[in-house]
Structures are given as C-alpha cells and as structure tokens.
Amino acid sequence: MELYDIIFYLFAAITIISAVIVVNARNIVHAAFSLLLTFFGVSGIYVLLGADFLAVVQIMVYVGGILILLLFGVMLTNKITNVEIRSGSFQVLPAIVGLAAFAAILFGVMTSTNWKSQSFEIANTTSFELGKLLISEYVLVFELLGILLLVALIGAASIARRDKE
C-alpha cells in the first residue's frame, strides 16, 4: 500500500520540520504558526493510525483552543519582533549535547524493542466506542477530568485576573 507510506512520510515530514521551526524560529509568531502545522501533522498521523475521532479532537482542541491561547499569550506578553530567542540559562552546546544523547538513547530504546502485540480486532468506528468507555468504565476519569478543568479554570482566573487595588 504505497499511498499509505507516502502519506505517512508527508505528514511525518510536516510534523518534524514544523516542529524544528517551532523550536528555532527567530520570530515568535512564526513559531506559533509552525506549531499549528505540527498539530496538523500529528492529527494526520492519528488518522493514519485509525484514530479519526482523535484527529478531530486534536484539531479542535489544539488548534482551536490551545494554540489560540498561546497566541493570546504572545500578543499580551511580547513585542512581536524580539530577536533574542535563546535562553541565557547556559550555553546551547551542552544542552544540545545532553539532549542529543538523551534522544539517541530514546531512539535506540524505542526502535530496538519488540513491542507487545496481541490479536484483538479494533472497531472501525472509534467515536462510539470511546463515548461508551468514557461514560462507563472510565466514568471516574471522566468526572475527575471535569473537576480538573474546573480547578484549572478557577486557578487560571484567580491568577490572571487583575485584582482591584
């Protein structure tokens, strides 16, 4: 199935390249938008993995929610064109060295492992299954997430709102 491969490589390329831009872009807005691309790429990969519903959620939540938040953050906190993007915490070199080593180990581990696989037919339509699980077995998690969102909301509000002096 040639096409599958091509599409995969396409999305993979989009994802990774844009991700590289995200972490290196001089202009923060560029970074933000390449992040958008990354999310698209990832959702594409989801589709390839047969997680259609998740792909949609990915687009909606990330692109529709998180990214916008980030952009707001950018707007509120930054002059768009600020050149200095590298953190002065330390030289870049050691970071790269360390992270490269880390990435190498990670890669080695991930690729050299024989991952578990078992015979179990996956449903072709995921949304129903997910919904069912969500309100049955994982109802606890569902509720928990609800509370979590509430807390996050309150927390964010209480911190971000400018209190009256």
CB of 131 to other proteins, least distance (A): 10
CB 39 within 8 A of CB 59: yes
Among 22, 33, 37, 63, indicate the residue that binds other proteins (CB under 8 A).
22
Q: Give the whole-angstrom CA distance, residue 101 versus residue 135.
A: 43
The angle, 0 to 180 degrees and rounded to 10, between the axes of the packed helices 28-48 and 2-24 is 160
Q: Which of residues 141-160 bind other proteins (CB under 8 A)?
A: 141, 143-145, 147-160
30-49 residues near other proteins, rule: CB under 8 A: 31-32, 35, 38-39, 42, 45-46, 49
Angstrom distance (rounded) from CA 137 to CA 146:
16
The CA R_g of the chain, rounded to the nearest whole Å, is 20
CB of 76 to other proteins, least distance (A): 6
| x/- track of binding to other proteins for residues 103-132 (CB under 8 A) | x-xxxxxxxxxxxxxxxxxxx--x--xx--
